[in-house]
Chain A
Amino acid sequence: MPETPLDHELEQLLAYRNEPESSDFVASVMQDVRKEQRTRKVILWAFGLVGALFGLAGAAMLSDPITRLFTFTFSLPPTETAQVALMIVAAAAFYTWFMNDELSVGS
């Protein structure tokens, strides 16, 4: 690739030498990674707990209508049973789409 002596000099000058190697750097990165994981876990637990509490409260509030729904579901005509099943599938699909938070680092 060098065409002139200056080209050659530039090539030599820009070549990496004494590449920085340090175990401190690696340790520091790993410390950050562990910290990030702890934070993620705390956030997940906190939101999970809040969700569970609301879920419990909701279940308590809706226990009567739910009992009634299940009591009558099997006595419903087939079209209404199919509608209920479809709504459950749609809710599950929405939940799957909503929780899929993959972000890409595209170039």
Chain B
Amino acid sequence: MISDQELVIRVTGSNDQVAFQQLVERHQAAIRGFLRRLAAGDDGTADDLAQETFLMAYRKLHTFKSTGSLLSWLHTIAYRQFLQHTRKHARQKVMAEPPEQGHDPRQSMDSEILAQRLMGFVSPEERACLTLAYSAGMSHPEIGEVTGFPLGTVKSHIQRGKQKLQRWLKDHDHSISREKEAHSA
């Protein structure tokens, strides 16, 4: 398989569109998945932002330093696109509705949709750090590079986000057990 670096050289050197298409095919799932999590279930917006991300990458590919990972670089652009979008649409909240209370969404809802909706409980910064850590499997320094946060901030965002989600999972378990008790009585 041709490496990312080689494809980048082909695109920047001879404007090889087939090479760029290969790059898009290779990384679209990761970038769209990341943006879907950031958009907390708003898949339409996430896909629009992913499209903008790849277009921006095409424009700026000559500035990509081959020493780093292309996927991290694409994540950086995607995160910036998302931040720009949230700033522009600060008044219209794009966050999806949180999962309904009273029944266990973990059983009735597709787990990917649940994961996206759970992201609505945490701030955009925590969302980005949690997704990059747990879903994209990046190390803390890598997350720092993508988001531009210092290492300590990355760790605290992950910790705080994790606590919020854990609290929701715990609370939800309690409400489920109470409901079960009520039904059995």
Q: Which residues of A contact B (CB under 8 A)?
A: 6-7, 9-11, 13-22, 25-26, 28-30, 32-34, 36-37, 102-105, 107
B: number of interface residues (CB 8 Å): 45
Given contact pairs A20-B28, A29-B51, A105-B56, enumerate 13 new A-B contacts (beta carbons under 8 Å).
A10-B134, A10-B166, A18-B112, A20-B32, A21-B28, A25-B50, A26-B25, A26-B28, A30-B20, A36-B59, A104-B63, A105-B60, A105-B77
Q: Which residues of the other chain, A, contact B73 by a CB distance below 8 angstroms?
A: 105
- Tell which of A13, A20, A102 touches B33, judged by Cβ atoms closer than 8 Å: A20
29 A-B residue contacts at CB 8 Å? A6-B169, A10-B166, A11-B134, A13-B111, A13-B115, A14-B135, A15-B134, A19-B29, A20-B28, A20-B47, A22-B28, A26-B24, A26-B28, A28-B51, A30-B24, A32-B54, A32-B55, A33-B54, A34-B17, A36-B58, A102-B62, A102-B63, A103-B63, A104-B60, A104-B63, A105-B60, A105-B63, A105-B73, A107-B146
Whether A33 and B63, one on each chain, are in contact in the complex, defined by CB atoms closer than 8 angstroms, is no
Chain A residue at minimum C-beta to C-beta distance from B135: A16
Q: Which residues of the other chain, B, contact A37 by a CB distance below 8 angstroms?
A: 15
Interface of A is mostly: helix
- Tell which of B17, B24, B58, B76 touches A105, judged by Cβ atoms closer than 8 Å: B76
Interface of B is mostly: helix
Q: Which residues of B contact A (CB under 8 A)?
A: 15, 17, 20-21, 24-25, 28-30, 32-33, 36-37, 47, 50-51, 54-56, 58-60, 62-63, 73, 76-77, 111-112, 114-115, 118, 130-131, 134-136, 145-146, 148, 162, 165-166, 169-170
Whether B54 and A14, one on each chain, are in contact in the complex, defined by CB atoms closer than 8 angstroms, is no
Query: Given A14-B131, A19-B29, A103-B60, does the pair A7, B21 have CB atoms closer than 8 Å?
Result: no
Whether A26 and B21, one on each chain, are in contact in the complex, defined by CB atoms closer than 8 angstroms, is yes
Q: Which residues of the other chain, B, contact A102 by a CB distance below 8 angstroms?
A: 62-63
Whether A13 and B21, one on each chain, are in contact in the complex, defined by CB atoms closer than 8 angstroms, is no
